[in-house]
Amino acid sequence: MNIINPATEEIITNLEEDALESIERKFKLLREGQEIWNLVPLKERISILQRFSELLKENIEQDASILTSEVGKPLQQARNEINGACGRIKWLTENAEKYLADDLMTVEKGMTEKIVYEPLGVVCNISAWNYPYLVGINVFIPALLAGNSVMYKPSEFSSLTGLQIEKLLKLAGVPDNAFQTAIGGSEIGEALLHLPFDGYFFTGSYKTGKYIYEKTAHKMVPCQLELGGKDPLYVADDVTDIKNIAAGTADGAFYNNGQSCCAVERIYVHENVYDQYVEEFIKEVKGFKLGSPTEEGTYIGPLTRKAQLDFVESQVKEAVAKGAQLATGGKRAGRKGYFFEPTVLTNVTHEMSVMREESFGPVIGIMKVKDDTEAVKLMQDSEYGLTAAVYSASKERAEKILSKINAGTGYWNCCDRVSAALPWSGRKNSGFGATLSIAGLRAFTNPKAYHLRG
Ligand code: NAD
């Protein structure tokens, strides 16, 4: 399997993909190792995973440069991702004892009732490339903490990072028979669906997630899906600091080149502040530095996948053909690599793909609305339900709007953020089940009810 640098289109290296036999061998190892890993006291598992976090930090320059070389994200954003991952590991490891310990529910009249959080067993984690550290650790850290062994399949577009993760986990003390990596593309992912795992945890597109859900349903094991989004953001007419709001929301739309599951993908602006907001927003976007991801100061690097260039380009063309106005950008950058100019479209409608289908690139549509009711109607008009954001001077107004949106996360005066303390979950085509928070720690367990008389 060739690993390509999306900024230069050069082959970085060639990796040997797993084959059916090696996957089966790894699975057998994980099956044998799971009970042994589960016998390691939780405190020790916690300190091993904290050591992993220290190793990530100690090697941050190497980790970041590997990540940038294969996914193309600007080096500083790669460092930010690794630091963010360490923050999540901190929360998960510091809260594992509290939320994975047995819960004593009742003790009365000779009857004790308690819940024991048993590991699922051997779990399979099929992962995405856009934030391989963050989306990976959302799954394999709590899974390992809870006493599961893990087969981790990084995306074929972030395999070197997957191997780096494996190397550091093993250095930290995670045994070989508790963690294995499956290297390859969709065929290797497919092979994993045929093995008797005790749970499937997927991060990726709706299309693949739906397929995996259908394929594994007959196994009667948990299947959790963290999928894409078309996340809306509404700017109400009582906002004051429009310049800062425009800057913050442009970052929410264009950070990581728009390749974030919770990137702002649609913007609705109250007519009273529309002109000013759009002007400031465009100014901000025009100031983004597009360039080599290894150059300090670059904000827009290449897209990770060549295929996405075609998709983003087709969305822009379709929107313009249907009457959208191109405020800035709109085409591939004239240089080698998978670069696309940061693009802002106005005069868009919900008849256009750019307002309906996940762009997962540096493109955003902005639409004028006359009031909150119209904003809610449009925000709700989507098959996805990951996050939604409202910018307003009033918390009550924002919460009222957010309560009407069928999404897993609501933001007031912020966007495109994830907290380890809160559940990360989608609704509708954005998936189901939660990672992070108490829910995400317990997602890798089977609660057993004990009724103990005596
Ligand atoms: P993808 O669906 O193309 O691939 C994801 C993984 O599935 C890869 O490892 C791939 O090899 C594997 N795969 C592909 N076909 C398979 C098959 N038939 N059987 C088993 N495995 C298979 O997604 P991607 O391009 O890697 O990721 C981008 C998508 O992920 C976007 O939609 C993004 O929004 C979403 N995402 C969601 C979250 C979230 O938390 N909700 C986080 C990050 C990314």
Instruction: Give, for all 454 residues of the chain, the pLDDT tens digit.
Output: 999 999 999 999 999 999 999 999 999 999 999 999 999 999 999 999 999 999 999 999 999 999 999 999 999 999 999 999 999 999 999 999 999 999 999 999 999 999 999 999 999 999 999 999 999 999 999 999 999 999 999 999 999 999 999 999 999 999 999 999 999 999 999 999 999 999 999 999 999 999 999 999 999 999 999 999 999 999 999 999 999 999 999 999 999 999 999 999 999 999 999 999 999 999 999 999 999 999 999 999 999 999 999 999 999 999 999 999 999 999 999 999 999 999 999 999 999 999 999 999 999 999 999 999 999 999 999 999 999 999 999 999 999 999 999 999 999 999 999 999 999 999 999 999 999 999 999 999 999 999 999 9
- CATH number (3.40.309.10, 3.20.20.70, 3.40.640.10, 1.10.287.130) of 231-420 reads 3.40.309.10
Question: Are 254 and 300 spatial neighbours (Cβ–Cβ below 8 Å)?
Answer: yes
- Tell me the CA distances in angstroms from 305 to 19, 129, 352, one per residue in order: 24, 10, 23
For residue 186 and ligand 1, the question of a CB distance below 6 A is answered with yes
* Distance between Cα 204 and ligand 1 center (Å): 2
Taking the CA of residue 204 as reference, the ligand 1 atom at the shortest distance is 30
Catalytic residue among 223, 261, 262, 415: 261
- Give CA–CA dist 232/375, Å, rounded: 9
For residue 429 and ligand 1, the question of a CB distance below 6 A is answered with no
Instruction: Say which CATH topology domain 2-227+430-453 has.
Output: Aldehyde Dehydrogenase; Chain A, domain 1 (3.40.605)
The secondary structure of the chain, three-state, reads CEEEECCCCEEEEECCCCCHHHHHHHHHHHHHHHHHHHHCCHHHHHHHHHHHHHHHHHCHHHHHHHHHHHHCCCHHHHHHHHHHHHHHHHHHHHHHHHHHCCEEEEEECCEEEEEEEEECCEEEEECCCCCHHHHHHHHHHHHHHCCCEEEEECCCCCHHHHHHHHHHHHHHCCCCCCEEECCCCHHHHHHHHCCCCCEEEEECCHHHHHHHHHHHHHHCCCEEEECCCCEEEEECCCCCCHHHHHHHHHHHHHHHHHCCCCCEEEEEEECCCHHHHHHHHHHHHHCCCECCCCCCCCCECCCCCHHHHHHHHHHHHHHHHCCCEEEECCCECCCCCCCECCEEEECCCCCCHHHCCCCCCCEEEEEEECCHHHHHHHHHCCCEECEEEEECCCHHHHHHHHHCCCCCEEEECCCCCCCCCCCEECEECCEECEECHHHHHHCCEEEEEEEEEC
Q: What is the pTM of this model?
A: 0.97
Residue with CA closest to ligand 1 atom 34: 228
Catalytic residue among 226, 284, 341, 358: 226
For the question of residue 226 being annotated catalytic, the response is yes
Question: Are 8 and 337 spatial neighbours (Cβ–Cβ below 8 Å)?
Answer: yes
- Residue bearing tokens 């913007």: 267
* Distance between Cα 189 and ligand 1 center (Å): 10
- Give CA–CA dist 40/416, Å, rounded: 37
Taking the CA of residue 358 as reference, the ligand 1 atom at the shortest distance is 32
Residue with CA closest to ligand 1 atom 9: 155
| Among 357, 79, 343, CA closest to 207 | 357
Mutation to probe ligand 1, out of 205, 227, 312 (largest number of atoms < 8 A from CB): 205
For residue 88 and ligand 1, the question of a CB distance below 6 A is answered with no
For residue 230 and ligand 1, the question of a CB distance below 6 A is answered with no
Give me the residue spans of the domains in the chain: 2-227+430-453, 231-420
| Beta bridge partner(s), residue 111 | 108, 453
For the question of residue 357 being annotated catalytic, the response is no
